[in-house]
């Protein structure tokens, strides 16, 4: 990599600082993971956030109205804002234009001048210089109301001094960069990943307007574009979380508190479902591992609800207090705190550590939520009732469990009759294929390597009517074979250390019905065996879509792109389109989908499963409108598991 920077023009008297600069950026290129976490798709997308965060800061300072983010056709990125423009004046310490410092000095990113809530620790806010170092090229244009200033870099090394290339009466910053293929394993941006993150930022920073555009045409030659602008901030965020659910009270509850060095705001609304959906943020960073703000919130919510239930005699004296989990059933909630010198802890540095935050949030909820309850008794009673129902259901389930004393089918040691088990019991190697239908199941049983591959056919031949009302299948009875075969229990009893197979592979057709089955199973795992997904045991098998052949030459194509390439490789070939797994004979199924040496499998992460849960909610929900829209919009992507 050194050859990329040896030919840098060093034409001013600041050789020394220049050399330091390059040493700094070279360190970034040597160990990119230290600065952006990884060089996978995650790190790739992180580059965009690093740049956009600067424009968001400018908007928060009150100088920028709109931020445009565009994925160009070649997977380079442009970000444009209408702020004041990065300063171009010469900086005293370095003798360089401030903008050049921003792009070449580590940790100098737009945050000079102080003020605001700084981020410390973790991988956040590493700044524009890191993006510059990891980009094949980066160009910046600044409009200062008079001139358009321009500079370009390659892999962190400047190609030219900052120069004026035109006049303007506007102000703003434009950055165009292309992530370096020498650094990143993945170079293709995922529109939905950027959309989710930018939408989240738009919710967290009420009033900001972010426009995301994709200049890569989709299969219909269309370009996607979304405008993200929410005057309601996190209140609208909560409505968004509940968009496919049925809220049990109309008004979103909102409380906030401002202290000298911190602030906290919380928005919440209950729906008629059973899952808890709390998302927390510190300084606009998603704290997926939770932390003090979440702990404070949960403690106070439990207390406020119990106090209210006691005060108004909804809970009788001889009844036990409601548990925390009871008070969070069906809760959609956003917690957003800002704190100077935030401390991020945990494995992925997404757990807030500042101890003062627990007290601040706890006190705020104790005071303001109880006040809200007093002023809105109708809503308060709905919420307390909901928690009491949850508590009764929990108690009843526990009694039922205790009564059946391990005799329940869930814990029974008899394996399902249809399971073709494997001989090995070493979960490092074992896999179970959950296959839809008896015929595909038969092929899989014959094609497998029985030493480590088990096959569980599900549901025999499903009637079409049943498929359309697949929610009926979502009952223990129909999924019992899956539970017993995996052998680690379910719900709060699930013990991932007891699983009988290291890999749980969902194998279904590449069509809409197959997509339904995948969605159903993923949702089931997400709701009842979450650690199975969290620890990476769940996979989706990828059967080929086409067989391209001529004489003895055979190529299996897994995507339309593969098909194109295959047809170039074998001219005048015949094409067989596989409509289902059932069309493959056992050898073909082994060769294309089950052979660890050749197959393609997708590992499911929690985000995928969570999306499946959302899709499931829509597919099964009683709201017809979102369902139709959704199926029209996403049926394609569900098939491809681009969910
Ligand atoms: F990442 C980045 F640095 F390259 C970048 C910065 C990228 C993009 C797309 C925008 C920005 C950016 C920075 N937009 N707006 C600003 N604003 C400033 O840097 C700025 C301007 C004026 C003053 C001032 O005190 O007068 C202070 C700042 C931080």
Q: How far apart are CA 388 and CA 320, in angstroms?
A: 10
* Mean pLDDT on 452-456: 97
Indicate the pLDDT class of residue 631, thresholds 50, 70 and 90.
Answer: very low
Q: What is the CATH number of the domain that holds 100?
A: 3.30.565.10
Q: What is the CATH number of the domain that holds 283?
A: 3.30.230.10
For residues 345 and 126, the model is more confident at 345
Average pLDDT, the chain: 87
Q: Which of 511, 535, 560, 629 is catalytic?
A: 511
Cα of 59 to ligand 1 centre, how many Å? 10
Give the residue, by CA position, lying nearest to ligand 1 atom 18.
86
Q: What's the pLDDT score for residue 8?
A: 41
Question: Residue 633: pLDDT above 90?
Answer: no
Mark whether 456 and 499 lie in a shared domain. Answer: yes
**577 in a structural domain:** no
Q: What's the pLDDT score for residue 1?
A: 35
SS3 content of the chain, % helix, strand, coil (to 5): 40, 20, 35
Q: Which of 139, 509, 591, 614 is catalytic?
A: 509
Question: Residue 266: pLDDT above 70?
Answer: yes
* Mean pLDDT on 461-478: 50
* Mean pLDDT on 156-180: 97
Indicate the pLDDT class of residue 439, thresholds 50, 70 and 90.
Answer: confident
Indicate the pLDDT class of residue 490, thresholds 50, 70 and 90.
Answer: confident
Mark whether 188 and 327 lie in a shared domain. Answer: no
Report the b/e string of 476-505 with b at 16+ CB within 10 A. Answer: eebbebbbbbbbbbbeeebebeebbbbbbb
* Mean pLDDT on 278-290: 95
Residue 421 a catalytic site member: no
Q: Which of 81, 431, 436, 614 is catalytic?
A: 436
Q: Which domain holds residue 432?
A: 409-543+591-637
**86 C-beta closer than 6 A to ligand 1:** yes
**84 C-beta closer than 6 A to ligand 1:** yes
* Mean pLDDT on 9-27: 63
* Mean pLDDT on 58-69: 95
- Dihedral angle of Cα 568, 571, 575, 581, to the nearest 10 degrees: -50
Q: What's the pLDDT score for residue 469?
A: 46
Q: What's the pLDDT score for residue 20?
A: 66
**304 C-beta closer than 6 A to ligand 1:** no
**128 C-beta closer than 6 A to ligand 1:** yes
**69 C-beta closer than 6 A to ligand 1:** no
E strand spans, 420-563: 431-436, 453-458, 503-507, 538-541, 546-550, 553-557
Q: How far apart are CA 358 and CA 298, in angstroms?
A: 10
Indicate the pLDDT class of residue 627, thresholds 50, 70 and 90.
Answer: low
Q: What's the pLDDT score for residue 626?
A: 56
For residues 430 and 608, the model is more confident at 430
Most confident of 394-408, 513-527, 589-603: 589-603
Cα of 173 to ligand 1 centre, how many Å? 7
Distances (CA, A) of 299 to 256, 258, 264, 288: 17, 20, 16, 18
Nearest-5° Cα angle at 348, 347 to 349? 95
Give the residue, by CA position, lying nearest to ligand 1 atom 23.
87
365, 395, 425 — which closes off a domain?
395
Q: What's the pLDDT score for residue 407?
A: 46
Mark whether 81 and 108 lie in a shared domain. Answer: yes
**77 C-beta closer than 6 A to ligand 1:** no
Indicate the pLDDT class of residue 206, thresholds 50, 70 and 90.
Answer: very high
Cα of 110 to ligand 1 centre, how many Å? 5
Question: What's the farthest any 2 CA atoms get from each other in the chain?
Answer: 84
Question: Residue 446: pLDDT above 50?
Answer: yes
Mark whether 245 and 371 lie in a shared domain. Answer: yes
**353 in a structural domain:** yes
Q: What's the pLDDT score for residue 138?
A: 98
Q: What's the pLDDT score for residue 347?
A: 84
Residue 395 a catalytic site member: no
**523 C-beta closer than 6 A to ligand 1:** no
**126 C-beta closer than 6 A to ligand 1:** no
Question: Residue 15: pLDDT above 70?
Answer: no
* Mean pLDDT on 510-537: 88
**173 C-beta closer than 6 A to ligand 1:** yes
**21 in a structural domain:** no
Q: What's the pLDDT score for residue 460?
A: 55
Lowest mean pLDDT, pick from 50-59, 406-415, 579-588 = 406-415
* Mean pLDDT on 315-327: 95
The total of structural domains in the chain comes to 3
Q: How far apart are CA 365 and CA 372, in angstroms?
A: 10
Q: What's the pLDDT score for residue 108?
A: 47
Question: Residue 452: pLDDT above 50?
Answer: yes
Question: Residue 60: pLDDT above 60?
Answer: yes
Q: What's the pLDDT score for residue 403?
A: 59
**1 in a structural domain:** no
Indicate the pLDDT class of residue 470, thresholds 50, 70 and 90.
Answer: very low
Give the residue, by CA position, lying nearest to ligand 1 atom 10.
55
Cα of 157 to ligand 1 centre, how many Å? 20
**562 in a structural domain:** no
Residue-wise pLDDT for 393-403, tens only, equals 888 777 766 65
Q: Which of 136, 513, 591, 608 is catalytic?
A: 513
- The per-residue DSSP string of 121-174 comes to STTTT--HHHHHHTEEEEEEEEEESSEEEEEEEETTEESS--EEEEE-S-EEEE
Closest CA to 55 of 291, 284, 266: 284
**81 C-beta closer than 6 A to ligand 1:** yes
Residue 511 a catalytic site member: yes
Q: Report the percent of the chain where pLDDT is more than 70.
A: 84
Q: What's the pLDDT score for residue 188?
A: 97
Question: Residue 456: pLDDT above 80?
Answer: yes
**449 in a structural domain:** yes
**205 in a structural domain:** yes
User: β-strands 546-550, 538-541: how paired?
Assistant: unpaired
Q: What's the pLDDT score for residue 509?
A: 85
Mark whether 77 and 127 lie in a shared domain. Answer: yes
395, 425, 459 — which closes off a domain?
395
Mark whether 525 and 622 lie in a shared domain. Answer: yes
Mark whether 43 and 177 lie in a shared domain. Answer: yes
Question: Residue 412: pLDDT above 60?
Answer: no
Mark whether 223 and 240 lie in a shared domain. Answer: no
Q: How far apart are CA 70 and CA 176, in angstroms?
A: 9
| 396: Cβ contacts below 8 Å, ≥ 6 apart | none
The preferred substitution site among 84, 88, 97, 142 for testing ligand 1, maximizing ligand atoms within 8 Å of CB, is: 84
Mark whether 295 and 196 lie in a shared domain. Answer: no
Lowest mean pLDDT, pick from 118-122, 275-279, 424-428 = 118-122
* Mean pLDDT on 441-456: 95
Mark whether 294 and 419 lie in a shared domain. Answer: no
Mark whether 369 and 482 lie in a shared domain. Answer: no
Indicate the pLDDT class of residue 474, thresholds 50, 70 and 90.
Answer: low
Residue 325 a catalytic site member: no
Mark whether 225 and 300 lie in a shared domain. Answer: no
**437 C-beta closer than 6 A to ligand 1:** no
367, 395, 423 — which closes off a domain?
395
**465 in a structural domain:** yes
Q: What is the CATH number of the domain that holds 435?
A: 3.40.50.670
Question: Residue 448: pLDDT above 90?
Answer: yes
Cα of 54 to ligand 1 centre, how many Å? 6
For residues 562 and 111, the model is more confident at 562
* Mean pLDDT on 89-112: 81
Indicate the pLDDT class of residue 12, thresholds 50, 70 and 90.
Answer: very low
Q: What's the pLDDT score for residue 125?
A: 53
């Amino acid at each position: 990599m050194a050859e990329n920077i040896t030919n840098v023009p060093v034409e001013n008297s600041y050789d020394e600082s220049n050399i330091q600069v390059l040493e700094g950026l070279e360190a970034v290129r040597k160990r990119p993971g230290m600065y952006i976490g990884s060089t996978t798709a995650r790190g790739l997308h992180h580059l965009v956030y690093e740049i956009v965060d600067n424009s968001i800061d400018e908007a928060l300072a009150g100088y920028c109205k709109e931020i445009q983010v565009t994925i160009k056709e070649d997977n380079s990125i442009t970000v444009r804002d209408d702020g004041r423009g990065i300063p171009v004046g010469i900086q005293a310490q370095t003798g360089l234009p401030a903008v050049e410092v921003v792009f070449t000095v580590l940790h100098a990113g737009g945050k000079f001048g102080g003020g605001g809530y700084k981020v410390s620790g973790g991988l956040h806010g590493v700044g524009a210089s890191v993006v510059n170092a990891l980009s094949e090229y980066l160009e910046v244009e600044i409009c200062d109301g008079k001139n358009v200033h321009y500079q370009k870099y390659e892999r962190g090394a400047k190609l030219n001094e900052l120069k004026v290339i035109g006049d303007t009466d506007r102000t703003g910053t434009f950055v165009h960069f292309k992530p370096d293929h020498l650094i990143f394993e993945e170079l293709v941006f995922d529109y939905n990943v950027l959309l989710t993150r930018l939408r989240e930022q738009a919710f967290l920073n009420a009033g900001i307007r972010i426009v995301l555009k994709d200049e890569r045409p989709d299969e219909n030659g269309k370009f996607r574009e979304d405008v993200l602008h929410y005057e309601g901030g996190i209140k609208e965020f909560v409505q968004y979380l509940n968009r496919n659910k049925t809220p049990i009270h109309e008004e979103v509850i909102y409380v906030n508190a401002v202290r000298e060095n911190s602030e906290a705001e919380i928005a919440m609304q209950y729906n008629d479902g059973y899952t808890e959906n709390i998302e927390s943020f510190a300084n606009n960073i998603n704290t997926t591992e939770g932390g003090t703000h979440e702990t404070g919130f949960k403690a106070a919510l439990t207390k406020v609800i119990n106090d209210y239930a006691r005060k108004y005699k909804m809970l009788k004296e001889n009844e036990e207090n409601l548990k925390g989990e009871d008070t969070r059933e069906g809760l959609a909630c956003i917690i957003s705190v800002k704190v100077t010198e935030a401390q991020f802890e945990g494995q992925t540095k997404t757990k807030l550590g500042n101890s003062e935050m627990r007290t601040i949030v706890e006190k705020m909820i104790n005071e303001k939520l109880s006040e809200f309850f007093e002023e809105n008794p109708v809503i308060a009673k709905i919420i307390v009732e909901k928690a009491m129902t949850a508590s009764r259901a929990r108690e009843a389930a526990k009694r039922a469990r205790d009564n059946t004393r391990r005799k329940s089918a869930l814990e029974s040691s008899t394996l399902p009759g249809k399971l073709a088990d494997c001989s090995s019991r070493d979960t490092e190697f074992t896999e179970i294929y959950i296959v839809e239908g008896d015929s595909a199941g038969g092929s899989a049983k014959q094609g497998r390597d029985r030493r480590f591959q088990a096959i569980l056919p599900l549901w025999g031949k499903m009637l079409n009517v049943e498929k359309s009302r697949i929610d009926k299948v979502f009952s223990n009875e129909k999924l019992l074979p899956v539970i017993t075969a995996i052998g680690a229990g379910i719900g709060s009893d699930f013990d991932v250390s007891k699983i009988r197979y290291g890999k749980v592979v969902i194998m279904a057709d590449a069509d809409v019905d197959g997509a339904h089955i995948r969605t159903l199973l993923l949702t089931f795992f997400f709701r009842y065996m979450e650690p199975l997904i969290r620890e990476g045991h769940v996979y989706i098998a990828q059967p080929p879509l086409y067989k391209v052949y001529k004489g003895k030459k055979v190529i299996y194509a897994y995507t339309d792109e593969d098909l194109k390439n295959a047809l170039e490789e074998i001219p005048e070939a015949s094409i067989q389109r596989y409509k289902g797994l059932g069309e493959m004979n056992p050898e073909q199924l082994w060769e294309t989908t089950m052979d660890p040496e050749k197959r393609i499998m997708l590992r499911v992460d929690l985000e995928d499963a969570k999306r499946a849960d959302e899709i499931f909610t829509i597919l099964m929900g009683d709201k017809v409108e979102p369902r139709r829209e959704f199926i029209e919009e996403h049926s394609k992507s569900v098939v491809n598991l681009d969910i």
